[in-house]
Amino acid sequence: MPISSVTAFGPITSAMFQPNAGSSASAGASGATSQGNSVVQDFLDYAKMSPTERMREEILKSLGMTEQQFEKLSPAQQQAMNQKIQQIMLQQLQQNSGKTGQLVNVSA
C-alpha cells in the first residue's frame, strides 16, 4: 500500500523514499555532501591551528604561495622564505603592539 501525504509543498509519496528513485538528484546530493564535508574538514583543520600557524599561512598566502608549494622548495629556499615570514610577522606584531587580538582575530 503506497503511503502518501500532502504538505504545503505538494504531495509526499513512498516513491520519494525508495533508494533508486531520483538517482540524478541523489548523485547531486552526494557531490554536495562530499563538498560540504571538505568545507567542514577545512574549517576543522583551520580551527586546530595555533594563532602563529594561522598567521604564517596568511603570510604565505599574501606572498602567493601555499604550504604545498613551500614544501617543494629546496632547503635553502625554505630557509630564506622562513626568514622572510619571520620578518613580516615581527613587523606586524610591532605595528600592532598594544592592540588586542594581535595573534587572534577579534573582529567577530
Q: Nine-digit cell at 8?
A: 504545503
How does pLDDT run across 83-94, given as a tens digit for each residue? 999 999 889 888
**Is it the case that residue 71 has pLDDT exceeding 90?**
yes
What's the pLDDT score for residue 95?
A: 84
What's the pLDDT score for residue 105?
A: 62
How far is C-alpha 103 from the geometric centre of its chain's CA atoms? 19
- What number of other Cβ atoms are within 10 A of residue 81's Cβ? 17
pTM for the model stands at 0.54
- CA torsion sign, 11 to 14 to 18 to 20? negative
Are 71 and 63 a contacting pair, CB within 8 Å? no
Q: Nine-digit cell at 77?
A: 629556499
The full set of domain ranges for the chain reads 22-95
| Mean predicted lDDT score pLDDT of the chain | 75
